Amino acid sequence: MKLDLGQNGEVSILVLSGKLAAGGEEQLREAIDTLLGAGRNKILVDFTDVTFMDSSGIGELVSSFRTVERFGGHLKILKPNKRIQDSLSLTRLLPIFEIFEDEETAVASYSATQ
């Protein structure tokens, strides 16, 4: 998995690409921890280029969601493909995540939740 960090106003955007699977999920955890340590708790995870997510990736995503909430923030998801959404649905996790199809709407949603 590859991970890049972007910014849109106060929202930190983690742009993932490749597979969020066993062995690669540590990158996501480290990025979340770094952002939270810097006081950045509005986090949007861009799944546009994620091709696959296994149970380890799902577990790390849920863990990251909970960690961000403990820090008073919000973790939201941008553009997951149907396969990722199906995985979240099958594991009954889809309702806990706010999912967006465009970045501007996602970024604007943080103002509404703060």
Task: Quote the pLDDT of residue 108.
Answer: 96
Task: Quote the pLDDT of residue 25.
Answer: 77
pLDDT along the chain (114 residues), means of 10: 95 96 87 97 97 92 96 97 92 92 96 70
* Nearest alpha-carbon partner for 42 in 103, 93, 112, 110: 110
Task: Quote the pLDDT of residue 112.
Answer: 74
Q: Render 33-99 in DSSP notation, one character per residue.
A: HHHHHTT--EEEEEEEEEEEE-HHHHHHHHHHHHHHHHTT-EEEEE---HHHHHHHHHTT-GGGS-E
Task: Quote the pLDDT of residue 23.
Answer: 80
- Domains contained in the chain, CATH given: 2-113 (3.30.750.24)
Phi/psi for 59 (5° steps) reads -60, -40
Task: Quote the pLDDT of residue 114.
Answer: 52
